[in-house]
Chains A and B, each alone.
Chain A
């Protein structure tokens, strides 16, 4: 990540204060629009359907659910989102030309694509399209497993997950959360350092992707609330409520992030400049 940072930043230096990437919207195709709505419903029904077996045997069930989750997420990112390369090249064009970047994203790629591949029937175009998108999907999947999962597991521990026991569960919980939140982000943004710095600082403009990731984290955080209750229910065991919270948060976040009033806004956590100013004033006073 660090080695990649200078390359994009050095030419774009004058525009650095500007957001490095505009928010990403779902592709305008019919399938993308429908599936982007169906996806959270499918995920939630997976949670509801498998909930009892997760309670009974969490390790086996969480492991067994990973292929389904991967499948759903792969279909989602390939069907509904622009892959990394496309966005970045598009991004630069958009940044130089100026406006309406997000709307334009799919357009030129589609135009450019048939030129790249051989001209043929619609079906084979579709096949090529899938193959062309499969590569970044597989790459981001690998990165998700290798990098994001350990990092998320570590974060889980920092936020209170058991350190000396339940290793498999923590890791699986981290894997599920990484597949939900990080996988689409890698698929769309690749390893662009500027974007990831924004993500690390929670400074991304809100879109379906970032909303989903933030929702996953918040959902998992709120998911810890029922654990200390003395109801003695089997589902209160770690990490069931946390992961359920993460799933719900992801779905709420990815849908909510696309709502008109929210889309494109940033979470202004701390207007640090103003605070600095205010403090100087007081000192003078």
Chain B
């Protein structure tokens, strides 16, 4: 009878699992709208009237993650650049870089002048994607190219992906070997002397990555930072020297800028002051003519707002103006008024601003078709202190039109300054309007996604309800957690600090397990057995919950994550670098532990025992060599460095492939021997345990070396849980909590910047988006994947019907989290943090639901889903 009732519920769960990805797809379509861009290239409305160009050539030097204080403050290495600021040859700014502060969207902002959409973040990770190309968009590069000029590029290959076929000479460097501080930069620098002599190019782009790598690896206070700044400064010296010396560089504009900054941990992607404040300098001897006394260096400023703050999108129209090009069509930038003085004729200056205004007005009209900017429709009673920016823009435009007409009719020259003021005001206000205007979400798709998710929840409900009715207390606990988790998704700080929720709820769950097992323990003596339990199991049962609590406490300190407490000392980043002996002892122990378990559950043939040993040792030495090359600060004082030096010759790619194929061979061997020997084997041969241990070995290969010892702790927790004899609902709840807790304990968070790519290229020679994607997922979700596999072991003693409740509960949980995040993103779509906090959270939820829930949780249980 129970089976009869179970079948429809099970099918409903299956349908719910099919509905979840559909809902996500629908919601994403509405949430990440495709922004239509105006195609084609801009052209001057009146070419004969266009203001003359000031420069013929441009040298565009991007230093990745060049935060403003790295150049301007008094502990900077840019000494020569600072002398240029003092002489007036360099005009310094802080260029506000909007979120997302990652390279590709920032390059788009600098070249097109438009504000990139959030989709670009995803495309930035999937770098090989060519749909993000700017080949058909209007940029100052395209404008130069259209004039038949030559462009050259050396540095970050993102440029080559953004502008395929744009450059006549180019060499790209990939930014993925983050521990490389010097090679990426010398690959750029070695081209400079030759190219400075050539006179065939009119745009020379350099993109240095070393400084960003130092930030990612060691943070802005690292000892590598100042020498790197000196190196970058010497390149400024070299280029500026050539500009003064070479006659063909006489009329060249040199721009030095960062694409984004970095936070105090050296990461970027978010919207903190450090991340959004890169430096921007326009350098040319011609600027010395504009009298402006600037001090340099200046004291450290807290908010990093050195000199005047401009928007990063302003680079495009300013560059276009100075090079005599039309402003790119989709630009939201404003010509930087400091450079108006490069033109002496008032009419030219006005013409320049007018071109900029008309272009911005076009985009404004496109975004707000309801508003009319025709002068006669606006009454003259413009209120200057109106709060509505759109009205302000309308007002400023009318005023400027008024003044322009006045000048035309009367020929007055003295209102020149007034007109400039009015136009600049209009530009400034409309830029503000355009960049703050939320992208137009498609509410129909948003609500469709929410509805489908709700249906999925309803479908998962009957099976869940049945399970919860049977086990009320853990069921109540799960429901309370789901509800509070859902409520939490609406508070930005709880989204940022999600790990605190899981750590907190897990302590409560530990208490529940403690109480439950302490009662359970008392019952056997009461029913007659006089302390007949085996002593070791008995001790484990008593101490099980305590062990869980202690190990959990250690785990939560392993990697500090989130925003608020991210910089506080932890085990992985503060303790291990100074206690390398302990780190490597623990790492060796972890591998030894895996090896012992492998041998224990493998057939006793000497050859298979040897295979276990070889594979474990290969995996361990790979980790060692990898650490020696990628994070030498973790190995430099440890005795194992000698082994690492010994093995130095083997290429890492080959090594990783060896380790991974070894793991696969182990799995095959174990399956083979079980089949061959069957049940007659005298030793306990357990292929499922071997599979789990091999998976653990693979996960260790894909984890940072400082996280490897966590697997020891996880094993301890698994043993404690196994001794508690949990029911199916309790196992499901424990598994869920453990998956989320370990995700954060391994250093994960809800910020894009915390995605760990350090192990995503193990064993991969050429970039392959699918393989890299899989390895990235495994590297970041190592803890959750381990628990999925461990749960299967925990549940092995339960009957099949009970195990099915596991899937229903997981499905119910996933659908509820997806629903709450979707609801939060919809309701808070105009929130200030929508792009920095809630959208990344949505992306993470999608990964949890699609990749983790389907690839790990469901695939592992696929035998249960099928009838």
Cross-interface CB contact of A228 among B474, B494, B556, cutoff 8 Å: B494
Given contacts A229-B493, A230-B564, contact A201 B522 (CB under 8 A): yes
Query: Which of A112-120, A142-150, A275-283 lies at the binding interface?
Result: A275-283
Chain A residues with Cβ below 8 Å from B562 are 228
Given contacts A158-B553, A228-B562, A230-B493, contact A282 B516 (CB under 8 A): no
Cross-interface CB contact of B523 among A160, A227, A268, A272, cutoff 8 Å: A272
Chain B residues with Cβ below 8 Å from A231 are 493
A221 at interface (Cβ–Cβ under 8 A)?
yes
Query: How near does chain B come to A198, taking the closest CB pair, in angstroms?
Result: 10
Query: How near does chain A come to B575, taking the closest CB pair, in angstroms?
Result: 10
* Most central of B470, B504, B523 by chain A CB within 10 Å: B504
Q: Which residue of A lies closest to B500 (CB)?
A: A228
Chain B residues with Cβ below 8 Å from A272 are 516, 519-520, 523
A163 at interface (Cβ–Cβ under 8 A)?
yes
Cross-interface CB contact of B516 among A160, A163, A224, A270, cutoff 8 Å: A270
Cross-interface CB contact of A282 among B471, B504, B522, B799, cutoff 8 Å: B799
Query: Which of B46-54, B202-210, B507-515, B749-757 lies at the binding interface?
Result: B507-515
B55 at interface (Cβ–Cβ under 8 A)?
no
Given contacts A201-B515, A230-B564, A273-B523, contact A279 B802 (CB under 8 A): yes
Bound complex: CA A65 to CA B802 (Å):
53
Q: Contact between A158 and B549 (Cβ–Cβ < 8 Å)?
A: yes
Q: Contact between B497 and A228 (Cβ–Cβ < 8 Å)?
A: yes
Chain B residues with Cβ below 8 Å from A123 are none
B677 at interface (Cβ–Cβ under 8 A)?
no
Q: Contact between A201 and B801 (Cβ–Cβ < 8 Å)?
A: no
B117 at interface (Cβ–Cβ under 8 A)?
no
Main SS of the interface on chain A? loop
Given contacts A272-B520, A275-B471, contact A229 B557 (CB under 8 A): no
Q: Contact between A158 and B507 (Cβ–Cβ < 8 Å)?
A: yes
* Most central of B493, B556, B562 by chain A CB within 10 Å: B493
B389 at interface (Cβ–Cβ under 8 A)?
no
Chain B residues with Cβ below 8 Å from A278 are 470
Query: How near does chain A come to B363, taking the closest CB pair, in angstroms?
Result: 34
Chain B residues with Cβ below 8 Å from A285 are 2, 801
Bound complex: CA A283 to CA B503 (Å):
35
A49 at interface (Cβ–Cβ under 8 A)?
no
Given contacts A158-B550, A285-B2, contact A230 B492 (CB under 8 A): yes
Chain A residues with Cβ below 8 Å from B727 are 275, 279
Bound complex: CA A230 to CA B512 (Å):
30
B64 at interface (Cβ–Cβ under 8 A)?
no
A157 at interface (Cβ–Cβ under 8 A)?
yes
B438 at interface (Cβ–Cβ under 8 A)?
no
Interface string of A149-175 (1 = CB under 8 A from B): 000000001111001100000000000
Bound complex: CA A282 to CA B3 (Å):
11
B569 at interface (Cβ–Cβ under 8 A)?
yes
Give the contacts of B223-282 with A (CB-CB under 8 A).
Answer: none
Q: Which residue of B lies closest to A159 (CB)?
A: B507
Bound complex: CA A282 to CA B492 (Å):
45
Chain B residues with Cβ below 8 Å from A202 are 511, 515
Chain A contact residue count (CB 8 A cutoff): 31
Q: Contact between B801 and A282 (Cβ–Cβ < 8 Å)?
A: yes
Q: Contact between A283 and B491 (Cβ–Cβ < 8 Å)?
A: no
Chain B residues with Cβ below 8 Å from A230 are 492-493, 496, 563-564
Chain A residues with Cβ below 8 Å from B802 are 279, 282
Q: Contact between B500 and A201 (Cβ–Cβ < 8 Å)?
A: no
Q: Which residue of B lies closest to A232 (CB)?
A: B564
Bound complex: CA A164 to CA B557 (Å):
11
Q: Contact between B507 and A221 (Cβ–Cβ < 8 Å)?
A: yes
A69 at interface (Cβ–Cβ under 8 A)?
no
Q: Which residue of B lies closest to A161 (CB)?
A: B553
B405 at interface (Cβ–Cβ under 8 A)?
no
Q: Contact between A224 and B504 (Cβ–Cβ < 8 Å)?
A: yes
Chain B residues with Cβ below 8 Å from A16 are 526
Interface string of A201-214 (1 = CB under 8 A from B): 11100000000000
* Most central of B474, B494, B519, B526 by chain A CB within 10 Å: B519
A31 at interface (Cβ–Cβ under 8 A)?
no
Chain B residues with Cβ below 8 Å from A221 are 504, 507-508
B169 at interface (Cβ–Cβ under 8 A)?
no
Given contacts A228-B494, A270-B473, contact A163 B515 (CB under 8 A): no
Cross-interface CB contact of A163 among B520, B523, B553, cutoff 8 Å: B553
A139 at interface (Cβ–Cβ under 8 A)?
no
B518 at interface (Cβ–Cβ under 8 A)?
yes
Give the contacts of B496-543 with A (CB-CB under 8 A).
Answer: 496-497, 500, 503-504, 507-508, 511-512, 515-516, 518-520, 522-523, 526
Bound complex: CA A243 to CA B557 (Å):
22
Cross-interface CB contact of A269 among B504, B519, B549, B550, cutoff 8 Å: B519
Interface string of A246-285 (1 = CB under 8 A from B): 0000000000000000000000111011010011001101
Bound complex: CA A99 to CA B59 (Å):
96
Query: How near does chain B come to A127, taking the closest CB pair, in angstroms?
Result: 44
Bound complex: CA A208 to CA B511 (Å):
22
Bound complex: CA A272 to CA B724 (Å):
11
Q: Which residue of B lies closest to A269 (CB)?
A: B515
A98 at interface (Cβ–Cβ under 8 A)?
no
Interface string of B45-78 (1 = CB under 8 A from A): 0000000000000000000000000000000000
Q: Contact between A269 and B494 (Cβ–Cβ < 8 Å)?
A: no
Chain B residues with Cβ below 8 Å from A282 are 2, 799, 801-802
Interface string of A164-198 (1 = CB under 8 A from B): 10000000000000000000000000000000000
Chain A residues with Cβ below 8 Å from B556 are 160
Chain A residues with Cβ below 8 Å from B511 are 202
A225 at interface (Cβ–Cβ under 8 A)?
yes
A17 at interface (Cβ–Cβ under 8 A)?
yes
Chain A residues with Cβ below 8 Å from B798 are 279
Q: Which residue of B lies closest to A267 (CB)?
A: B515
Q: Contact between A269 and B512 (Cβ–Cβ < 8 Å)?
A: yes
Q: Contact between A160 and B503 (Cβ–Cβ < 8 Å)?
A: yes
Query: How near does chain B come to A208, taking the closest CB pair, in angstroms?
Result: 21
Given contacts A225-B504, A228-B564, A269-B512, contact A163 B557 (CB under 8 A): yes
Q: Contact between A229 and B799 (Cβ–Cβ < 8 Å)?
A: no
Q: Which residue of B lies closest to A202 (CB)?
A: B515
* Most central of B494, B508, B518, B801 by chain A CB within 10 Å: B518
Q: Contact between A160 and B507 (Cβ–Cβ < 8 Å)?
A: yes
Q: Which residue of A lies closest to B802 (CB)?
A: A282
Bound complex: CA A172 to CA B491 (Å):
32
Given contacts A228-B494, A279-B727, contact A270 B520 (CB under 8 A): yes
Q: Contact between B553 and A160 (Cβ–Cβ < 8 Å)?
A: yes
Q: Contact between A229 and B504 (Cβ–Cβ < 8 Å)?
A: no
Bound complex: CA A269 to CA B520 (Å):
11
Query: How near does chain B come to A278, taking the closest CB pair, in angstroms?
Result: 7
Query: How near does chain A come to B290, taking the closest CB pair, in angstroms?
Result: 42
Chain B residues with Cβ below 8 Å from A283 are 799
Chain B residues with Cβ below 8 Å from A158 are 507, 549-550, 552-553
Bound complex: CA A160 to CA B504 (Å):
8
Q: Contact between A157 and B553 (Cβ–Cβ < 8 Å)?
A: yes
Query: How near does chain B come to A121, taking the closest CB pair, in angstroms?
Result: 50
Report the 7 A-B pairs with minimum CB-CB distance, sorted nearest first. A228-B497, A201-B518, A230-B493, A270-B516, A272-B520, A228-B500, A158-B549
If A157-B553, A269-B473 are given as contacts, then 19 extra A-B residue pairs at C-beta distance below 8 Å, sorted by A number, are A158-B553, A200-B518, A201-B515, A202-B511, A203-B515, A221-B507, A224-B504, A229-B491, A229-B494, A230-B563, A230-B564, A268-B473, A270-B520, A272-B523, A279-B798, A282-B799, A282-B801, A282-B802, A283-B799
* 16 sampled A-B residue pairs with Cβ under 8 A: A17-B526, A159-B549, A201-B519, A202-B515, A225-B504, A228-B497, A229-B493, A230-B492, A230-B563, A269-B516, A270-B520, A272-B523, A275-B471, A279-B802, A282-B802, A285-B2
Chain B interface residues (CB < 8 Å from chain A):
2, 470-471, 473-474, 491-494, 496-497, 500, 503-504, 507-508, 511-512, 515-516, 518-520, 522-523, 526, 549-550, 552-553, 556-557, 562-564, 569, 727, 798-799, 801-802
